[in-house]
């Protein structure tokens, strides 16, 4: 595969990550509105998915109550949204020069890995149902996939052109 084609693939997968981060960030602002619409969407299947509908209703009611009584608590999710958007901006570096900025991709992979213990520890401590913890864990998987693909291509680019060893010399060892 040519370096140019590899670079296009890296940029595609990094853009997938950036779009995911931006969507996650932007959707962390209007939580009450989103859960209201989500509840309207899932209520018709309450008889088939009672636990899911009950959880979404509980979350929505909690957001409504909290916003009415303690609106300043939403400031925490505003910062969460900002963090997603700021991390998305960090990926502009690897989009421009993936080899030099590979550390951002490595950081992203570590962050995806960090989702796992956070969800498995904090979820039960905060009373999050298991099925929703699985939704949270899916962010680790769906975040890591594009980053792993991009990282694999970046490592090949960083290794440089592969040339045949001189006659009589041992082949180079690649790690």
Residues 6+ apart with CB under 8 A from 148: 109
Of residues 164 and 126, the one with the higher pLDDT is: 126
Mean pLDDT of 169-174: 51
Phi-psi region of 91 (alpha: psi -120 to 50; beta: other; left: phi over 0): alpha
Of residues 151 and 164, the one with the higher pLDDT is: 151
Res 126 pLDDT > 50: yes
Give residue 170's pLDDT band: very low, low, confident or very high (50, 70, 90): low
Q: At what angle do helices 50-69 and 31-42 cross, to 10 degrees?
A: 150
Give residue 89's pLDDT band: very low, low, confident or very high (50, 70, 90): very high
Q: Which residue blocks in the chain are alpha helix, DSSP H? A: 3-26, 31-42, 50-69, 74-90, 92-96, 102-125, 130-159
Other beta carbons within 10 angstroms of residue 75's beta carbon come to: 9
pLDDT at 160: 84
Res 175 pLDDT > 90: no
């Amino acid at each position: 595969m040519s370096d140019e084609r590899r670079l296009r693939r890296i940029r595609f997968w990094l853009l997938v990550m950036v779009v995911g981060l931006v969507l996650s960030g932007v959707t962390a602002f209007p939580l009450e509105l989103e859960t209201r619409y989500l509840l309207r969407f899932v209520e018709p299947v309450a008889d088939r998915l009672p636990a899911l509908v009950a959880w979404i209703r509980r979350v929505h009611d909690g957001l409504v109550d909290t916003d009415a009584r303690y609106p300043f608590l939403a400031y925490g999710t505003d910062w969460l949204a900002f963090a997603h958007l700021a991390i998305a901006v960090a990926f502009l570096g690897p989009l421009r020069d993936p080899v030099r900025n590979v550390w951002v991709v490595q950081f992203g992979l570590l962050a995806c890995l960090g989702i796992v213990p956070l969800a498995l520890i904090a979820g039960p401590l905060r009373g999050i149902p298991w099925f929703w913890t699985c939704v949270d864990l899916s962010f680790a998987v769906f975040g890591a996939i594009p980053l792993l693909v991009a990282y694999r291509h970046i490592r090949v680019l960083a290794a440089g052109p592969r040339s045949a060893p001189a006659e009589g010399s041992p082949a180079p060892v690649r790690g």
